[in-house]
């Protein structure tokens, strides 16, 4: 279960402030000159056994939102409950309950696949017995066996993906967060991820993932949040969103919302 309440993140950018930078409306709103509101007052709920998709263009605030939920970044204001823990007050408990995966979460190249997954198990406080059993299970499930003792540097992209999934699941977290998990992957590796996400839902986990790919959302999401300029523009099931805008194509829904939002911002600015 994830409940985000008024999550906000403002990045201070000294360089921009110095040069009196203005503009770049698409990248978050601005408060003080030069400060960037990457995430602006976002609230939403993800339920166990369901997949929540954060849909948005590049720079919309998806990564920042997920990083805050995973306690990699601290929110400027607002907070969230993740698996019953507060992300601001108990970040370490939150991280114990979360499996976080993104294209930016690489593997340690000089460790073998097994060492890599065991390391994260130990960091989660697992004892050797449990750890060994769990690694065995996951490696069987993901077919890691044949390259389990090869160094991560030597693995193919698909193999790396499987090791990353094992790393994400090693402590059997109730919440899974994925930041653009298929970005830059080939078809086969992307499919592994899609299946992994479905499997997590089947196991009753709370899943939230970010993407800018409409087809992934249509395939997977039980709930969609459309995020733009750091704000959550719309929320609902794919069907609800289609119905609301009277369009069959999710892409049209998305573009309409963006246009409406930008029109609003432009109107606000001209006032």
Partner 1 sequence: MNRQIWTIYRKEMHETLRDRRTLMSMIVVPMLVIPGLMFGLAELGMKLVKRAVSERATIMVLGEQHAPVLAARLRAHPLLDIVPPRSDYERRIADKEIRAAIEFPPQFESALQGEPPDAKLAVRISYHEGEIRSEHTLRTIEGLLTGYKNEVIAQRLIAHGLSPQALEPFAREERNVAPAERVSGAALGGFIPYIIIILTLTGAMYPAIDLTAGEKERGTIETILASPVSRGALAGGKFLTVLTTAMATALLSLLSLTLSARFTSSGGSEMQPFALNLSAQGVIAMLIIMMPVAVLFSGALLAIALTAKSYKEAQSYVTPLMMVVIMPAVAAMLPGVELNTLLALIPILNVSLVSKELVAGIYDWPVIAVIFSSSCVYAGIALAIAVAFFRRESVLFRT
Residue 21: which residues within 8 A CB-CB, separation 6 or more?
13, 15, 33, 34
Q: How far is the CB of 226 from partner 1 (least distance, A)?
A: 25
Minimum separation from the CB atom of position 36 to partner 1 (A): 10
Strands 36-46 and 29-30: antiparallel
For 123, 132, 174, 208, the CA distances from 119, given in Å and listed in that order, are: 6, 11, 20, 25
Judged by beta carbon, residue 14 or residue 271, the one nearer partner 1 is 14
Give whichever of 122 and 248 is closer to partner 1, judged by the CB atom: 122
| Closest CB to partner 1 among residues 25, 106 | 106
Nearest CA among 106, 91, 86, 88 for reference residue 9? 88
The Cα 167–Cα 152 span in angstroms is 12
CB of 76 to partner 1, least distance (A): 11
Q: Is 34 helix (H, G, I), strand (E, B) or coil?
A: coil
Give the binding site for partner 1 (CB under 8 A). 12, 67, 70, 72-74, 92-93, 95-96, 98, 100, 102, 104-111, 115, 119-120, 122-125, 167
State which residue, 37 or 233, has the beta carbon closest to partner 1. 37
Q: How far is the CB of 239 from partner 1 (least distance, A)?
A: 33
């Amino acid at each position: 279960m994830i409940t985000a309440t008024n999550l906000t993140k403002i990045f201070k950018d000294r360089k921009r402030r110095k040069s009196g930078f203005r503009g770049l409306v698409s990248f978050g709103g601005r408060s003080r000159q030069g400060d960037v509101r990457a995430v602006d007052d976002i609230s939403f709920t993800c339920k166990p056994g369901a997949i929540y998709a954060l849909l948005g263009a590049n720079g919309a605030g998806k990564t920042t939102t997920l990083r805050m939920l995973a306690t990699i970044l601290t929110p400027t204001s607002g907070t969230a409950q993740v698996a019953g823990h507060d992300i601001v007050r108990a970040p370490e408990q939150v991280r114990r309950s979360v499996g976080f995966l993104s294209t930016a979460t690489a593997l340690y190249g000089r460790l073998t696949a097994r060492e890599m997954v065991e390391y994260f198990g130990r960091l989660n406080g697992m004892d050797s017995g449990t750890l060994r059993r769990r690694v065995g299970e996951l490696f069987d499930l993901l077919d890691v066996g044949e390259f389990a003792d090869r160094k991560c540097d030597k693995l193919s992209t698909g193999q790396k993906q499987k090791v990353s999934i094992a790393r994400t699941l090693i402590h059997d977290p109730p919440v899974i967060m994925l930041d653009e998990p298929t970005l830059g992957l080939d078809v086969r590796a992307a499919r592994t991820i899609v299946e992994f996400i479905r499997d997590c839902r089947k196991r009753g986990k709370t899943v939230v993932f970010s993407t800018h790919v409409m087809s992934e959302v249509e395939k997977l999401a039980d709930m969609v949040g459309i995020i733009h300029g750091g704000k959550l523009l719309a929320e609902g099931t794919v069907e609800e969103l289609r119905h609301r805008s009277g369009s069959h194509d999710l892409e049209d829904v998305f573009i309409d919302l963006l246009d409406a939002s930008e029109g609003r911002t432009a109107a606000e600015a001209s006032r």
